[in-house]
Structure formats: C-alpha cells, structure tokens
Structure 1
C-alpha cells in the first residue's frame, strides 16, 4: 500500500473510534454548527479533525521532537499538533475577543456569523447540530458584523497563515435564508484580507439570491442537505425535509451555472441510519451536475440530540467513500477544484485521501454498498 492509502485508512479508523490523548492537544473545537467536539492536528502532513476517546486503541503520545500516534505500543504515524492561534489573544476596540468572532480550523478561518437558528430548541432541531451550545457556553457572540470579521481575517492571515474563510449561519425564516447577510460578511473579509471565501446557507426561496451572492464576490457555496435518505432527513432534520430534496437539487443546478463546477458543495453525513445505496446514487447525481458531495462520518456532539449515537465504522464508510471518490475522479472534481470551504480543507473526511489513493479500485472484502443501518431514534437529552 502507498503512504497515502495507509494514511487514508488510519484516518478513517480514527474518525470512527477516536484518539486516546496521552499528551496535550492544543486546539480543539466544542459545540458549533458542524462536525465538532474534535481535536485538530496534522497526520503525516494531512489536516485532520479527530474526536478524543478514552476507549480508542489509538493513542497520541508526546515525543522528543513532536507527537506520534501509537497502537499496541507501536508508532504508526507522525503528528504535528497545532498551537493556539496567535490572533486568539487579540480583541476588538470595544473588547470582543477575536476567538469569539472566528476560529482557525487548521488553516481555514471559520465563523457562524449568526449564532442562532429558527430550528434550534423546538421540534425542528437538527439531531446532529450543536449551534446553540457554543453560544450558551459563552464561547462566541450571537451576531458578527462584516467589520468584525474583516478585522479578524486580516489578523488570522498575517499572524497564523489562514488561507481561506468559511462563513455559515443558522437557518433563517427570511426569504433569502440569511444568505445576503453572510455574503456581505464574506465580501468584507475578501476585500480586507484577500482570502477566498465560501458561504453556507439553505436554499433561498428565490434563486436570484444566488446571483446576488456571486455578484458580491463570494467564491464558493455550501448548501448542505446532510442526508439524501428522505426517511432519515425527516427524522434528523425536519426543517430541511420540508424544504425538499428536489429543492436542493434545483438550487444546486442553478448555483453551479453561476459559480461553476466544483464551487458548490453539500455535506453528506454517514452513520445516521441512511440507505447506503440510495446515498451513493444521489451523490452520483450531485456529482453529475458539478456539485461536490462532502461525505463525512457522523461526529456525535455532546449536548446535541444525537450525542449518544456512535460514529460509523470504517467498514461502513470506506465503500461509500470509494464509490463517491470514483464519481468525482471521473468528473474531474476534487479538493483541488474547491477554492475555499470544507471541500478544500477536507479535515473532517477521508474522501479526498481515498480519491488520491485511487478510489475507483475495487474495495476488496468491504466492497460494494454496505447494508443499511436501522433508522436512529432521536430524542432530547433526559433532564
């Protein structure tokens, strides 16, 4: 096996079973709107987010010249940790700490510009999401302004080498679903710091909003469906289910016409009980129109409705990665065609590593689509 293939396999394992920490991991993210509750590190030069786990067979150990990942006492990979970003020590003129405005996810500046969602705290709450948790903990502020984000972006680029910016928002009842405000923030970041910007929002009622966002200089879009399985979507994200899967496809088609192939992406979370073959087929449909399906394993977030749901196994995720990576390769899409955002970073997924290692090859003993997991029962945490 090649180094890339070995690393891909290791990362798939780690994102399933986690990493036991026997030394300090300087940067970690808790709560938030996307995959979180994870440590951020570089494994053999590859950016990765990995959930800490006391029961993992893999351990992170300190070494004289860095850190290493061990299993059964044997070192299997070298690790470079990430120091606390220097810009975190700064604050705005009116006293808001920069780290409450935006965070550095490895080399990508990220912010939820409106830390509120009309789905949060009611029957529409998405099972996998923790957007309200970081606000409740005081880790962030409710609304960031374009001026704030531009100021922080300059510092993140100059002090810590940020290479792009990803800006998202909770769901909004506004006709544009909050897209224009996030785009205004993205415009400010790009003009001030020169960083390519991805913004993320739900399908707007009027598709001309996407044209307006493009005209504001935004480079890429994330319009995230989370799962293609309608039964699972209805269970874990009722608001998105009401929007409708076909609405997402119509929105993506228009967005690709405006932004170009590889500049539009969607999260596809594995391990929520979805039908794997349906997922593979829908990912191909998305790729065929130029959309990048960013396939990730479920990252259970403490405090979310799905906090007790285990992450999917490598045996489940790898065949899906391989199929989707093959579709991407055939279409000429990959992390290299994404200028900003999650599809460029890839730290929460093994998809690009699998593609790089030769994803179209047969999967061997794990080949083909895995059997469907049972539909998860989602409920609120007991009081």
Structure 2
C-alpha cells in the first residue's frame, strides 16, 4: 500500500506544452522550497534533489545547489497539497513524497534500511557496491558522486542480496514500490561488476516480486549479458553518458577508452537478450556536446531498440564538476523535442520499459515533452539545436 499522496493530474486549463516547459525549466533552474520535503542529498542517483509530482508528472528537482537558491520558482503549501509559483502566479499543483515508512526499520544486525536502499518516488533503488575502480584517480568520471555518500556515512560499502531482498519487500509492502533499480560502481573484472548486481536483482525478484533493472558498464566478455538475462533481470541500463567522443574523453576517460562503438555492440547483445525498449542509456546534456552528434547517436540507439534516457547535467556536490552550470532549459527542451519526436516515429516510449530509469522518467523531461508533441506536432523541430 502506498503512503505518499496520490499524484495529481494536470488541470484542464493547463496545456501539455506549458507543463512540459515548466518541468524542463524546473530541472534547469531548480526550486526553492517553503515546506518540509523529502529529498536526496549527495552521492549517486538524483542527488541534492526533491522528489515530487508537478501537474501529475513525476519529477526530481534540484533544491540544494546554487541554482536552486536563486530559482524564480517556489514550492508553497495549499489547502490540499502544494503548488509551484513564479512571481506570485500559481503555475501547477504539486504533491510530494512523504518520508517512506521503511526508512524507520533496521536489519537484525542494526543497519538502517535507508542505508541499503532508497525510494525514488515509486521505485526502490540502491547502489549495491558503493565504490568504483575509477574513483580518486585519473579515470574518475567528472560528473559522478558515487563515493560521496559513502564518505558521509549515508550508506554501506556493499549490500548483500539478502539485505536488498529484505528491504525491497518492506519498500513494496509499506510504501508501494513498483520496481527496483540496482546499480554499481565499475570493477576491473571481466564482467565489470554485472554478475554481482544481477545476483542481487535475482534475490529482490524472488523475495519482493518486483521487476528489476540493473546498470553496469559493457563487460569485456559480452556473454556476461546472456548470464545476466538468465538470472531473471528484466531491464538493463548500459550508460554511455555522451555520444560526443571529445566530451566523453574529457569527462569520462575510462568510458572513452571503452569506445562508443563498444557500447553499441553491448546494446545490440542486450536487446537480443532483454528485448526492444528494455535496454537504456543515459545521455547527459550540458557538457559541451555537439548537438548534431548527440542526436545522431540517440537516433541510432533508438533504431537498435535502445531507449536514450536524455537528462540535463545535474552538478553533484563533491564531484569534479560540482561547480558546473546546468544547461539552459531552452536548449534542453529543443533536444528533448528532437529525440522525443524520433522516438515517437519509431514506436519507442517509456511505457515499454518494465523497470528502471526509463520506466520512472522523473529525472528527464522526455515524457512531458513527448506528451506535448502528441498534442501539438508542430512543436517538433527539423534541425539539431545549437548548444546552449
């Protein structure tokens, strides 16, 4: 049974295009908050953000960085729930995730459940191994904060399959979790950590009955992807981060050495195993990428059956890019339109995904932009946007 307020539906007079633009701008500029709100601080995932529904759209919004402190948007309480305002004008109703009940529980050996897994709106999520072979050396991904939460004592180094299964059951029964997303830092092994996170996924599925996505880098031996499928995993995220090779070399040197073509090889194998729409990749906007190269990569991924999960850069406190600025909302929205338009033409949409980030969509504006395009096809653009 879910204990968070039911997400609201858009008001009849709120156009899909206006809601999409609001969502995109909120993710670019952040949100000032005048009410208590459950939020995620530091580390991997949608960090330094609040989790809420705006106009019925699931959303993670920056609330704890410099941009948010100067945002023109503010979240205020109403008689029933909350609303987003700008310059005193009410723009959209909102509802927030309350503190999950399972956070108040602990394992038999005293580990708080919230150190094992978190609730991202309606998704149970965990970084099962909170260390990475790239952290603290020249290969560290500049946008990543995987070990920040570990250093702050907000998690444990390695979660066991048994711990994750126990907490996932509580997340489903007490807080209405509908799927699980398990990720991991990269290892130097042949499987890059995929086998262990798949074992954890199998335990969660068997205990909680939730569909599960796991995330890992392309294994050196692609047969590992078949092994992962045999363990009952539903969806996988294999994240290239950027299709621009120059950007990738600058922000994620180890991924650049893997090479973008190797990602396509891994995706092709994964689509064969898990099916079209069950394989996704993060594509981060705002790191200086070439828009044309980025859109070409997204289109090629869609043609292969891969969901390009396009998101704006969200600078993480404690990462090597903590002082970077998120991309301009207008640029991000134009890129969303181009990607969403192509995905619609190819029959790719978030409802296909069984689990994971592509199913949840809260960190991206793709879904509301896609809804706006369905309402007003003329919003689509025919040429790549200029970087913003």
- Aligned partners of 1:336, 1:256: CA distance in 2, in Å? 16
- The aligned counterpart of 1:48 is 59
- The aligned counterpart of 1:13 is 25
Deviation of residue 330 (structure 1)? 1.6
Alignment of 1:52-67 (within 5 A): 52=63, 53-67=68-82
- Aligned partners of 2:283, 2:309: CA distance in 1, in Å? 6
- Aligned partners of 2:91, 2:336: CA distance in 1, in Å? 23
Q: Is contact 2:338–2:382 with CA below 8 Å preserved after alignment? A: no
Q: 2:244 aligns with which of 218, 229, 244?
A: 229
Per-residue CA deviations over 1:227-271 (Å, capped at 9, x if unaligned) read 000000000000100100000000001110111100000000000
- The aligned counterpart of 2:209 is 194
| DSSP 3-state at the match of 1:114 | coil
Verify: 1:257 aligned to 2:268, yes or no. Answer: no
Verify: 1:356 aligned to 2:371, yes or no. Answer: yes
Alignment of 1:205-216 (within 5 A): 205-216=220-231
Q: Is contact 1:225–1:268 with CA below 8 Å preserved after alignment? A: yes
Deviation of residue 307 (structure 1)? 0.9
Verify: 1:123 aligned to 2:102, yes or no. Answer: no
Q: Is contact 2:183–2:197 with CA below 8 Å preserved after alignment? A: yes
- The aligned counterpart of 2:41 is 30
Cα RMSD for the two superposed structures: 1.4
- The aligned counterpart of 1:173 is 188
- Aligned partners of 1:114, 1:236: CA distance in 2, in Å? 22
Q: Is contact 1:35–1:298 with CA below 8 Å preserved after alignment? A: no
- Aligned partners of 1:45, 1:231: CA distance in 2, in Å? 38
Deviation of residue 163 (structure 1)? 0.2
Verify: 1:323 aligned to 2:334, yes or no. Answer: no
Verify: 1:270 aligned to 2:285, yes or no. Answer: yes
Deviation of residue 2 (structure 1)? 5.8
Q: Is contact 1:319–1:368 with CA below 8 Å preserved after alignment? A: no
Deviation of residue 5 (structure 1)? 2.3
Alignment of 1:61-210 (within 5 A): 61-210=76-225
Deviation of residue 62 (structure 1)? 1.5
Verify: 1:242 aligned to 2:263, yes or no. Answer: no
Relative to structure 1, is the Cα distance of residues 34 and 239 closer, same or farther in structure 2, using a 3 angstrom cutoff?
A: farther
Relative to structure 1, is the Cα distance of residues 342 and 68 closer, same or farther in structure 2, using a 3 angstrom cutoff?
A: same
- The aligned counterpart of 1:3 is 15
Per-residue CA deviations over 1:188-238 (Å, capped at 9, x if unaligned) read 000000000000000001111111100100000000000000000000000
The unaligned stretches of length 5 or more in structure 2 are 1-12
- The aligned counterpart of 1:379 is none
TM-score, normalising length from structure 1?
0.94
Verify: 1:281 aligned to 2:303, yes or no. Answer: no
| DSSP 3-state at the match of 1:172 | coil
Deviation of residue 34 (structure 1)? 3.3
Q: Which range moved further: 327-336 or 239-248?
A: 327-336
- The aligned counterpart of 1:297 is 312
Deviation of residue 363 (structure 1)? 3.9
Deviation of residue 367 (structure 1)? 6.7
Per-residue CA deviations over 1:89-122 (Å, capped at 9, x if unaligned) read 0000000000000000000000000000011111
Q: Which range moved further: 63-72 or 240-249?
A: 63-72
Deviation of residue 24 (structure 1)? 1.8
- Aligned partners of 2:269, 2:371: CA distance in 1, in Å? 29
| DSSP 3-state at the match of 2:377 | coil
Q: Is contact 2:53–2:59 with CA below 8 Å preserved after alignment? A: yes
- Aligned partners of 1:372, 1:67: CA distance in 2, in Å? 34
Per-residue CA deviations over 1:49-76 (Å, capped at 9, x if unaligned) read 0001121111111222211110110111
How many residue pairs get matched? 371
